């Protein structure tokens, strides 16, 4: 139990009687640069619930308990080397009220309308943070998901609104992390294509959206064949972070895969959620600390060329 978690029971009372406390906490929050002197970025992600994705591994409702999720987030954010958090407004409001975002990078999740399993999943509306919300709250960046299925007309609407969102973020000089996938429906379920060709194509499409790429970052998956990552990451000069993905049976393999990919010149950090917040062994501290240990500062002898 973290010190911040002791205030969880007060959240409902505070929300009822003093809703302006969220804006007040945002206004006084201490801020920092997006990227520190290490040149690396370690972000914990918790925007899954707003898309109706509550499962972790075989636990269908693992993320449904908001109080438990907040405890895990506060613990993760307290660990050395963790730069910040990516989440939706409801979770970030809670973390602001708990005082857990002081000196942290805060990234707002922007499009959550493509609900998991819905017929309209790929018509991914921007139902989360707007650029003006991020500016008003003094947050540091935004994130959006771009899934493209060549057989689903909803993908075109998502591409168009994504481009305009990138334009709006650039107008405010706010970085935006774009998470691109080519995908397809199989048995009624949307599945991401993690082949080298598909990931390279998704990166190329995302890099070319909007009137400028000056404030665009990429949030990319590890390919199904990790040895293809070096080739894939040559598809763009945009800075990139690796996404963590699903909780696997062998997390040690995932760690080693991330370590190798982090040596590539454009890969600058990690954005990981469920596999750190809900590790198979239940040890959030160990999972977070291990992930942080993979992020050798740029310029060390582990840095690739």
Structure tokens at 123: 């018509």
Structure tokens at 291: 């992930």
Domain ranges, ordered by start, for the chain: 4-293
CATH class of 4-293: alpha beta
pLDDT digit string (tens) for 58-95? 889 999 999 999 999 999 999 999 999 999 999 999 99
Write down the H helix ranges in the chain. 11-17, 21-28, 66-77, 89-97, 131-137, 154-171, 196-207, 229-232, 251-261, 274-277, 284-293
Residue-level pLDDT at 247: 57
Cβ neighbours of residue 286 closer than 8 Å, sequence gap 6 or more: 279
Identify the DSSP state of 250. Answer: -
The whole-angstrom separation of Cα 267 and Cα 241 is: 5
* Top-confidence residue, 253 or 269: 269
Residue-level pLDDT at 265: 95
* Top-confidence residue, 97 or 59: 97
Instruction: Indicate the pLDDT class of residue 303, thresholds 50, 70 and 90.
Output: very low
pLDDT digit string (tens) for 191-232? 999 999 999 999 999 999 999 999 999 999 999 999 999 999
Phi, psi of 166 (to 5 degrees): -65, -40
Instruction: Indicate the pLDDT class of residue 2, thresholds 50, 70 and 90.
Output: very low
How many CB atoms lie under 10 A from the CB of residue 124? Answer: 25
Least confident of 44-48, 240-244, 249-253, 261-265: 249-253
pLDDT at 110 over 80: yes
């Amino acid at each position: 139990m973290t010190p911040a978690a002791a205030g969880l029971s007060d959240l409902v009372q505070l929300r009822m009687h003093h809703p302006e406390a969220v804006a007040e906490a945002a206004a006084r929050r201490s801020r920092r640069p997006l990227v520190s002197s290490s040149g690396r970025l370690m972000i914990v992600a918790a925007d899954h619930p707003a898309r109706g994705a509550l499962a972790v591994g075989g636990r269908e409702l693992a993320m449904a308990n908001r109080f438990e999720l907040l405890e895990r987030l506060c613990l993760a954010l307290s660990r050395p080397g963790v730069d910040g958090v990516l989440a939706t407004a409801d979770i970030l409001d809670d973390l602001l009220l708990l005082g857990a975002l002081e000196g942290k990078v805060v990234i707002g999740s922007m499009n959550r309308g493509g609900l998991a399993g819905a017929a309209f999943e790929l018509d991914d509306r921007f139902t989360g943070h707007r650029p003006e919300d991020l500016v008003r709250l003094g947050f540091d960046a935004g994130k959006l998901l771009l899934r493209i299925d060549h057989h689903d007309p909803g993908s075109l609407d998502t591409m168009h609104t994504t481009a305009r969102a990138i334009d709006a973020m650039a107008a405010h000089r706010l970085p935006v992390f774009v998470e691109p996938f080519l995908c397809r429906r199989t048995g009624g379920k949307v599945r991401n294509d993690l082949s080298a060709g598909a990931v390279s194509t998704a990166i190329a499409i995302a890099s070319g959206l909007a009137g400028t790429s000056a404030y665009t970052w990429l949030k990319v998956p590890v390919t199904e064949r990790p040895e293809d990552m070096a080739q894939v990451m040559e598809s763009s000069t945009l800075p990139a972070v690796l996404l963590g993905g699903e909780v696997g049976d062998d997390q040690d393999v995932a760690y080693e895969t991330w370590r190798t990919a982090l040596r590539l010149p454009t890969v600058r950090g990690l954005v990981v959620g469920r596999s750190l917040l809900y590790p198979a062994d239940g040890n959030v501290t160990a999972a977070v600390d291990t992930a942080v240990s993979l992020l050798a500062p740029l310029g060390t002898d582990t840095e690739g060329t």
